[in-house]
Structure 1
């Protein structure tokens, strides 16, 4: 039983913890690059608090998903401002951008030199700048992961800049910051968190440590996601989803993911749809095909027991079977109006290209077994 485990050196969790950002920042640097979403005015409270600590600020906005060109330009700006600490406050895209900026300011090669799959995958030679990550959605767990997902416009695919050195120094998870997320965002991000927990739980790289976090995260996520979707101001539900998201980030960083995220990378590069919604559309079909393939080719694989346990946790029924867990996912997606892949523009003519790209994706490495091309195509057909 050999495994390694890495996570953020410090995690600060709970309502109102975001107010502690300035006191952490002052210990890490005096010239902060603040990375936030399309509306920086939403964190004016934080900007005011940082100014009171005499911290110089350079604010950058990430209005959508970060791409390599945008990150390259923002890194150049932050270098010119001599920033020595990065604070990322926002959803998964913002946190990924913050991690990439913190990593690339001291590592000065072209970003493609460091990227997986489409680049050279070179290791970072210099330690990234200190980074504080503060999520405003409950989904990606990016505040505790070791990679930044970037869109390579040239290759029309999302790929990762990855290093354990990129795990944020401090993750501040304040459920109150997620209250303003609308139902559609709550649904997409929440289902992303559940997908990450499920994929980590059945991953071939799982360990007793990640399994324990998966079980706890799934328990909180299953009982909280619909409550948070139906009532965004339900603090208990928001706290449960924030915990599920946090745990999903820790588990994926250590146990990897699987076929859902293997497909999500090329789909996200070619079609405009929320990452979590894409994952949710794929999840039931990936579960079905994985379970069938495991029973046919590797019936002793522990992933089958993990799928069975997942069904019991999701449904709250100790007698539940794997099929009940798959149906729970389908019912939850339907209640939260998650579109199929066809609704985001995917057509059958895209299947072969998407399957080929998915098979090469780094996320596919954690899938409990290697899927055939026929099985990959069947997943897309079922999710259409």
Structure 2
């Protein structure tokens, strides 16, 4: 505790200086397989990080989301078997201090993903091992109410070792929030649900899209123009492109993340489109440990390979592009590091910087504004 107080005291002049100068700063939240969520101040002009605080009120916060005001953080507590929960924290933007609010059970096994709607009516939790999608309403004070709907997946996939049953891996609202896309790694399906936040059970089935057998859809991202969806497939290390229209997906391309002739283990993980919509980034673990960069065709949304960049560590499970689009931060789970790379907006390529942090088993990075919401 004394060490943390000393660090905070040493950093306070730097933080005050940044506030006075009007520099672009954000709070970076880091979750993982440990006992806390750590908060760092991120300086968008330089890519540097400074430790602020941590919360010790949660076990294995492997994934998080932040509400649109930047004042509340929701984190799953991923565990094997019973005891999976989702917790709410209040975030003080100026200091980065997290205060525990409450928690609720998610009635599933290995909760691995959480997201929130714009109006802060509900949060959505993907339970990996039990293959279910949970909906939990929110109070106006940011606290979590008991579960209101549980959608249970069914079926299996071609990969008998990894797809013996449904494995929910993500819950992604469409840009207009009329639909939610739910990736099921275990059945090679992407489920689309109509979403009405005012209803007690807000999801009703809309459509189902099947990807290549044994591919394992994990995460996805929408293009800024809302016309395309990009899905990263963990088991085959592919990215599949879809045209998107009112909850429906139409496949237009599948492109590999692997170098020609590669033989080895893979584990594609995360995927994000650059804020300007010009480039797509996807991470790969296994024996690869890189970020693959693609350019995006403006009209069609189709991808063209640009580069494969090593992440300076092992198991890049998660990464985030900073709100200015100037930097990408990569969480290397197995080597306990988060590295900051500079993004070239013209070429989409990554360049190493001297900025990084060491932290146990990081698995999720999220940004929040360092300025109080008005």
Q: Which has the higher strand share?
A: 2
TM-score range, shorter chain: under 0.3
Q: Which has the higher helix share?
A: 1
Instruction: Tell me which of the two structures has the higher relative contact order, counting C-alpha pairs closer than 8 angstroms and 6 or more residues apart.
Output: 1
Q: TM-score of the superposition, structure 2-length normalised?
A: 0.25
Q: TM-score of the superposition, structure 1-length normalised?
A: 0.25
